[in-house]
Structure 1
């Protein structure tokens, strides 16, 4: 039972509610001038006890706590005026459910509670109309509770993620160093090791065959290739750009021409530069391996293009190894990662007596995984809850019967028109963040239309009374104009326009006598004070948000500068090591070739290969712990032998979004997974295809993670494909 033991922070709220109930029972009759009914005391005590227990466990079991609070409130319908602990417990347990559970679960729980209380009201003798009005008012309270709880849940998630990012920010520089080492290792393998291997093979063949023409060709090749190795090494340790990021098919033709290829076919038209560069790498790696392990083999190279795909095949019929101990053992593995990251596939293996390398690459970018629209993102969902609040308060108040005022629903046509106007007046709240100005304009138009309908006698509800009941909608929209409009468009006209329209509506009310124009002007001035105050509050919030964004951007840029500086220093350190090892051997290769000492050429080229191999095996071994950032997922995928590719231009994202995306990727990416990360203007999407399927516990954890960050997650039927989406807008 230790896990159910309550902490002091869990006891404080239920204790306060019980104390308030104890004070309310005897004091309410005294305040309102009614007699104290001692017969209600047992029922009040029972409700207070149930409310205390429900609130005590509202964090650890919010569903059960809400159920108990609703049952206690529903069964105490006759004590509604004195048993306040039950309704308060319903609101607080509903809030706890929203904070600690996902949007769907919490919305279902709140809706069920509202329905149950409405049914209880009807059961205790309320008329159908009164029960419907009570349901709408309860829906308003539930919508407000849900909106506030969702906001609190998002704030908790963002604070936790931001703290995690700050705690791990010191790891960005070591991570950048490790990434630079990994990049240099790949480039050294793809460029320098390829040319040194060619020198070893050609020199060894010339020495064995003792053919003067072959010897002369090997010497010339060693001179040219050795100089290229020196240039490559100098470039790799100074420039950050990788080799052959953009090339064309002519470069592939020239590469094939440098090798004894028996047959070369290509039927490709113009390909995207990135695809051609990858074709170049595939052919180069395959031909290098052919020189190492199948000297003298008849080799065929085929490059064919289809509808949206290009196929690359390099096939040999077998041969003898040119020399042992030349490979670093990571060429095909790194190449397969590159190919899969581009959305293709690569197979390499025996084919008869020889070896076959076959790759298939897409020539068109895949469309981004399906992402929800902005209207479905976190802030807009809370705005829809405000719509429920506005509809519930206005229509619920109209439905509740009153003995003092005339019934506005007595005639069907005016009743339907009234409900339609109330609904249309509430709907603009759904767009208060996306389009605050047009939303406010729509709300004001409804007020003016209402005023016209009243003047024509089409509605029986006093517009002034309705405005006083509903004008918080205009206040919310005026705040949104101040908080969400661009900084160069202040929107000061918004509160003034609402004050003018509100003054006109109030001036047309039944309670105003005398000069209505003067009354409307005075009332407009009075309304302008809270409206301008609300607008100023929105502007202050917008200014604070902008300053925070600028500060976060500067902090991120400082982190990136430190990381880039650390990577540059590491590149210089590796450059110094290369100058003392592989580069010196490459220079010696050139010198020996120019002097005609072919045996020395082979020795120095082999020594250079061994130096590179040591570097290739040593560099990635000291990778640090991954920082919680999207960029670190590439390293994580490489460690787990998975492919990762990007759609859209990668960019720094807000720290909470980076952390949540990394946490989700860390639990989803398994060995052999295929990952696609999509950057859009308004957020980040990720698609992970993996084996084994995602378990139920992991799905539950992902849903909670995405829901708290305002995102969403979907799975296919066999749970091997997971897609999630995190919005950057509407924060």
Structure 2
């Protein structure tokens, strides 16, 4: 029962509604000019009690709360002048449903309430037209509540995610240092260890066989390989990547340095990043053969196909020459690189020898955009405003007052009026994307409406029509100032609306005398609220711009701190290389130039030992990663999953970073395959996982992603989950 106990904050709104109901009970009849009757007091109390209970649980059980609020409204039938708690509870619990449930669930709930109330109105004797008008008006209110609720839901998740990102910002610098340490740990192993191992093996063979020609070749090889090892270590010290130039020619040259290797390849050309990875695989495999299988017959095969390349290095076994010099990180680091590129690497015994096989994709998948059925949250809210405009205008047409003529009495003028009302509401759908053209379209519809009225084609009073619908122009004027403050419309937007509105009001039947002068005066009067609306939009745009600049400044400061931490870690590792492995490599070159082959082997072996000691001495533990998209790679590595990024990585808004990381943390399991896509308008994530995703995972995941305006799809066997997170319209 503890989870159903109401919190203190949940009592405020229900208490306020009940208090308002208590105050309205004597004031309502006076307001409507009806005599106060004590008989409905029991009914009012029942409505207040049910509404209180509904509002009390609007957060914890919004569906049940909305149902109880509808019940309270049904109990208030016949008490319209004194019972207001029921309708107010319906609005507030509908808002709670939208805030605490996904878009589909909340839209279905609000639509069901609107339809139910309209059916109830028809059941209690309302005509079909009146019931339809009531449904449209209620639908307009429901659309407004849904749009405001979705905005509130997005604001909540943005605020929570931004706070989570700020609280974890202190961990960004240590995490960047750990990631840099992990990245650099593989470089000395991949680069210098290959050269030094070759020196140890060739010098050892020459010393054992005491062949002058072999000794001379070993000395020459030691000079050449030692200098290359020093150059490689120098490049690492200055933090340059040595394999950028790797291609098919570089792989051919690498294999050519091992005359006993049988070499086959059918790949004419490879992308630079794929060729560099193939180069690393072949180099690591040949280095291991020199260490652990000296004299083994070796085959290197590189085969290319449609969209893939296969690399295989196979030996038939041999005697270990320098088996104690490995750092134990080579194949593991390669496997991580291959899987990050979307490939697969296998290494293990093959008969009496060893086999390394990798398969890599040679083309990246195109970076997809938003799903076909997905619409960004801001655009959805704008379309909800279209529903509001249509509902208010069409509902008012279907529910005319008793004194006004029926605008739908004649078929042709009625159909024209419906068409004009619809066309006037539609520009709201482009309020954010194209506010200037949307305002121009709405004003053009108003002018066409005035023309139709002047020609006698419509029977609606133009002044009344404008006053009922001009909030559409107000919303578009605000949008012009708030979303496109630097465009060519500027102050022309409120002035144009004031001019058209003045003409519409001046054409009303209640205007006598000079209509041009009246239109001018009315335009000036309309200009005041329009200018205020435009000014509010400009202020909001300026505030949004300042917030964006502050967020950008904060992110740049965080990135600078992270880059500084990574740079210091690189310098620390480079200093270790300079004082250990590089010194031994220089000594090995000097000994080779002096012809002291035994000292060459000793220094090269000492360099390998120093390199291994440096690598094994690097701490492998890293702090908890910050909630960011870049940290998903660390998360995948911890869970033994492969992850690759598509598209050009870029800084994303903090809420999007946090939600993406939380979604990845929920989806990525051991052995999963993850693809993260940077698209122009958002971020996509595809996770192939085992075990299949169950309801206990998908329900909170959909709730998380929906709150950020995104979408989640699941394939039929429930093993592939796709997440789409759009960037909010700025």
The normalised TM-score by structure 1 is 0.97
**Partner Cα distance (1:273, 1:164) in 2:** 39
Secondary structure of 2:513's partner? coil
Partner of 1:173: 173
Contact 2:684/2:722 (8 A) holds in 1: yes
| The 10-residue stretch of structure 1 (301-310 or 705-714) with the greater mean CA deviation from structure 2 | 301-310
How has the CA–CA distance of structure 1 residues 498 and 135 changed in structure 2, closer, same or farther, with 3 Å as cutoff? same
CA contact (8 A) 1:73 1:86 kept: yes
Structure 1 position 295, deviation (Å):
1.6
Q: What is the DSSP-based 3-state SS (H/G/I as helix, E as strand, rest coil) of the residue aligned with 1:160?
A: helix
- Aligned counterpart, 2:606: 607
How far apart, in 2, do the equivalents of 1:508 and 1:490 lie?
Answer: 27
How many Å separate the matches in 1 of 2:287 and 2:69?
74
- 1:204 matches 2:204: yes
Distance 1:99 1:682, change over 3 A: same
Aligned to 1:64: 64
CA apart distance, 1:259: 1.5
Equivalent residue, structure 2, for 1:648: 647
- Contact 1:246–1:276 under 8 Å retained in 2: no
Alpha-carbon distance, 1:489 to partner: 4.2
Deviates more, 1:128-137 or 1:346-355: 346-355
**Cα distance in 1 between the residues matched to 2:336 and 2:368:** 21
User: What is the distance in 2 between the residues matched to 1:505 and 1:149?
Assistant: 34
Is residue 628–residue 658 contact of structure 2 (8 Å, CA) maintained in 1? yes
Is the deviation greater in 148-157 or in 488-497? 488-497
Shift of 1:620: 4.6
Equivalence for 1:714: 713
TM-fit CA distance, 1:212: 2.1
**Change over 3 Å in CA distance of 1:208–1:486 after alignment to 2:** farther
Tell me if structure 1 keeps the 8 A contact 2:32–2:81: no
Residue 16 of structure 1 is matched in structure 2 by: 16
**In the TM superposition, what is the alpha-carbon distance from 1:261 to its structure 2 partner?**
4.2
C-alpha separation between the residues in 2 aligned to 1:624 and 1:490?
Answer: 52
Shift of residue 370, structure 1, vs aligned partner: 5.3
Residue in structure 1 matched with residue 341 of structure 2 by the alignment: 342
Aligned to 1:420: 419
* Cα deviation, residue 421, structure 1: 1.2
Render the CA deviation track for 1:394-414: whole Å, top value 9, x for unaligned. 111111142110011112222
Aligned to 1:431: 430
- State the secondary structure of the residue aligned to 2:687: strand
Distance 1:212 1:490, change over 3 A: farther
Q: Distance in 2 between matches of 1:242 and 1:185?
A: 13
Kindly provide the CA deviation profile for residues 480-499 of structure 1, in whole angstroms up to 9, marking residues without a partner as x: 00011153646221111111
C-alpha contact (below 8 Å) 2:168/2:626 kept by paired residues: yes
Tell me the equivalent position of 1:229. 229
Q: Cα deviation per residue 1:605-646 (whole Å; 9 max; x = unaligned)?
A: 222222222332332513112111111112222222222211
Deviates more, 1:172-181 or 1:58-67: 172-181
The answer to whether the aligner puts 1:299 opposite 2:271 as a matched pair is no
**Secondary structure of residue in 1 paired with 2:407:** coil
Cα 1:134/1:6, change in 2 over 3 Å: same
Distance in 2, matches of 1:124 and 1:43, equals 18
Contact conserved, 2:47 with 2:75, CA < 8 A, in 1?
Answer: no
Residue pair 1:304, 1:310 contacting (<8 A) in 2 also:
yes
Q: CA deviation at 1:246?
A: 4.2
Whether the 8 Å contact between 2:194 and 2:284 is mirrored in structure 1 is: yes
User: Which deviates more from structure 2 when the two are superposed, residues 597-606 or residues 131-140?
Assistant: 597-606
Q: Deviations over 1:131-175 (max 9, x none)?
A: 111111111111111111111111111111111111111111111
Question: Which residue is 2:364 aligned to?
Answer: 365
In the TM superposition, what are the counterparts of 1:125-140 in structure 2 within 5 Å?
A: 125-140=125-140
**Structural RMSD (CA):** 1.8
The aligned runs of 1:108-147 (5 Å cut-off) are 108-147=108-147
Match of 2:445? Answer: 446
Task: Indicate the residue corresponding to 1:510 in structure 2.
Answer: 509
Q: Secondary structure at the match of 1:243?
A: coil
Check whether the contact 2:203–2:219 (CA below 8 A) recurs between aligned residues. yes
CA 1:199–1:574 in structure 2 vs 1: closer, same or farther (change >3 Å)? same
Tell me the CA shift for residue 320 of structure 1. 2.3
The answer to whether the 8 A contact 1:248-1:277 is kept is yes
When structure 1 is superposed on structure 2, of 512-521 and 611-620 the one drifting more is 611-620
Distance 1:260 1:699 in 2: 57
Structure 1 residue 25 displacement after superposition: 1.6
The 3-state SS of whatever aligns with 1:305 is: strand
Matched, 1:318 2:346: no
SS at match of 1:636: helix
Q: CA separation of 1:69/1:262 partners in 2, compared to 1, >3 Å: closer, same or farther?
A: same
Looking at structure 1, the residues matched to 618 and 672 of structure 2 have their Cα atoms a distance apart, in angstroms, of 24
Matched, 1:254 2:266: no
Q: CA deviation at 1:374?
A: 10
Pairing 1:80–2:92 present: no
For the Cα contact (< 8 Å) 2:29–2:81, is it kept in 1? no
Change (3 A) 1:551 1:101: same
- Cα–Cα, structure 1 residues 349 and 627, in superposed 2: closer, same or farther, change >3 Å? same
Q: Offset at 1:325?
A: 1.7
> Residues 370 and 682 of structure 2 are in contact (CA less than 8 Å); yes or no, is this contact kept in structure 1?
no
| 2:159 matched residue in structure 1 | 159
Q: Say which is worse superposed, 10-19 or 296-305, in terms of deviation.
A: 296-305
Are the counterparts in 1 of residues 485 and 538 from structure 2 also a CA contact under 8 Å? no
CA-CA distance at 1:84 after TM superposition: 0.6
CA contact under 8 A between 2:369 and 2:679: conserved in structure 1? no
Q: Which runs of 5+ in 1 are unaligned?
A: none
Deviates more, 1:578-587 or 1:699-708: 578-587
SS in structure 2 opposite 1:79? Answer: coil
Q: 1:218 corresponds to which residue?
A: 218
User: How many Å separate the matches in 1 of 2:692 and 2:242?
Assistant: 38
Question: What's the CA shift for 1:589?
Answer: 1.8
Judging changes above 3 Å, is the alpha-carbon distance between structure 1 residues 639 and 498 closer, same or farther for their aligned structure 2 residues?
Answer: same
Q: Are the aligned partners of 1:626 and 1:632 in contact in 2 as well (CA < 8 Å)?
A: yes
Q: TM-score, normalised by structure 2?
A: 0.97
User: Counterparts of 1:426 and 1:348 in 2: how far apart (Å)?
Assistant: 65
1:496-541: CA deviation from partner (whole Å, max 9, x where unpaired):
1111111122222222222222222221121111112111111111
Which SS does the other structure have where 1:77 is aligned? coil
- 1:191 match: secondary structure: helix
* Cα distance in 2 between the residues matched to 1:311 and 1:453: 73
- The answer as to 2:106 corresponding to 1:106 is yes
User: Structure 2: how far apart are the matches of 1:152 and 1:479?
Assistant: 19
Structure 2 Cα separation of the partners of residues 516 and 112 of structure 1: 48
Question: 1:375·1:381 contact (CA, 8 Å) conserved in 2?
Answer: no
Where does structure 2 lack aligned partners over 5 or more consecutive residues?
none
